[in-house]
Structure 1
Amino acid sequence: MTQTTRRFLLAAPALLALPASARAQTAWNPGRPVRIILPYPPGGGTDILARAVAETLRPVIGQPVVVENRPGANGAIGSDALSKAEGDGTTIGMVTSTHTLNKYVMGTLPYDPLADFQPIAKMTIQTLVMVSGTAQPFSDLAGLLAAARARPNAIGFGQTEAVTRFAGTEFARLAGVQMEDVPYRGGGLMMNDIVAGHLPCGWTSTASAMPHLGTGKVRVLCVSTARRTPLLPDVPTAQEGGVAGYDISSWVGMFGPKSLPRPLAESIHAAVAHAYRDPGLVQRFQTLGLEADLRPPADFAQFLVNDDARWADALQHRRIQRMN
């Protein structure tokens, strides 16, 4: 058993801890198809994750589970739709850590990222990666940094939402280089330009990058966390490449609207925990380069409070800025 598989299997204890009678009493029986609102376009890492989870949830709850992409406004359009949905368990959503960060980088939001949603499950921790095409004149992080220092603002980095934008700007700040910020509407679109050689480099999730690594056209220059990820054990960290203090990760979580009762949120979490034990999903996570970090509603709610405080501190110390 690999380290990643072991972590995955240990990440879903909630349903196992319930006796059979409790599982029966808290079963999630929506009675009709369920939709997962995804505030991002098709083809990116979160979209891939959402579809893998939806496929595994169908036999668990006995209902179709459909992913509905509602991209736009850095994820705010889909999140707004979720906040206004009925709290009957038939509409849930999946978001990245941009969900909490948006409060600090966007001018106004039609909802409160914490108060207007019911946490259901923290689902993954996401190591971010800096990727580039193999046709670029640099082959490693040292080469990219040398090129960026030689030609300030000539090398652009792709990003798809607030967290990957922060990953890129923080990298440039700590590395002491000037790099152009190139926004994309989704990870799939950005990776297409990386593969084609139109974009020098970009920050994305392992799930977005993994499908391209076997093509011979994409390389991973570094990972964003302080320690190497078991998903890409041979890829150095940014810190190992000389960018001291660089340590950033993202996450994906499942929410309902605030009107979703907490007992129902716990039932949905139990169904997700059941799906997480499916061997097919375990293998899919490994293939996609996803790291499970399943946490129940109460734990996820506290995590969100801490995450909100992290971004508030970053704004106060000018490590992030409001978008134009």
Structure 2
Amino acid sequence: MSAVTVLICDDSSLARKQLLRALPAAWPLDILQAASGREALERIREGGVDVLLLDLTMPDMDGYQVLAALRQEQLGCKVIVISADVQEEAVRRVLGLGALAFIRKPADPLHLQQTLAGLGVAGAELPALGERNAGQVSFRDAFREVVNVAMGRAAALLAKVLGVFVQLPIPNVNILEVGELHMALADAAQGDKLSAVCQGYIGGGIAGEALLIFHDSEIADMARLMRTDDYLELEMLLDLSSLLISACLSGIADQIDVVFSQGHPQVLGQHASIDELIRVNRQRWKNTLAVEISYSLEGHDIHFDLLLLFTEDSVELLSRKLALEMN
């Protein structure tokens, strides 16, 4: 069987590495990699790419735009979307744009191999995995991909509850000193009053605070989407926070093999209360692993930020959990 050229397109080096590991070394594949949709499209235009393994949530040019460009330019290659965005509407859209299959992240190697075999890309026999040279992955990139998968699961749940399509961002993962964290929150609050819900979590020695921040001007619209006219906006904030925070933490926990216990969610009120939260936690958050996820709802002027603030001590434990994927 002649070699098949497979292009892996994902902005995450961990995701690319996971796919490389999932492709048996015994298969006659020429494997290329692209870190952005634009880079992938340029490579496909050069010709010779048989199969594209495509992520959806990427900077500059996302997977939807790549699929649309492939169709418009009539560039013939088979596309399998591999994404953390597992909303039913996301699957429907990519298949409508010409993708031949959708696989949820992290891709199950057997599922990927069977999908490729079903498309005639490889033989029906599925050989044992062989290690391909995939390079090393930084902690930040590895954990960002873990968060990306968790974020997608939480969005799918939110989409079902609200009956909307949730537009997913690329999560930001940074180590921040308390002053930088304070500045980041101040920037988020600029020009608008905020309400926030805070919830602590701990598991396997990994601990932190989840902070869900809402713009007050959008709360009434959110309440209407959740059909909560018959009860208080405060309850709506707590319900929505519980849903999103629990789903996101559960998605992270599943991937790093821990179980998080969560405290009771607390409404912090306006921006001054966020300042108070930082002041009280100043010692614990001297250097914080800060994860920021900004959700927005398509067709609605509604967005909100989920911050996961891990304690400094948690970083070493998280690094150990991710060590296998990083090396």
Q: So what's the TM-score if we normalise by structure 1? A: 0.32
Tell me which structure has the larger Cα radius of gyration: 2
**Greater relative contact order (CA < 8 Å, ≥ 6 in sequence):** 1
TM-score normalised to structure 2 length:
0.32
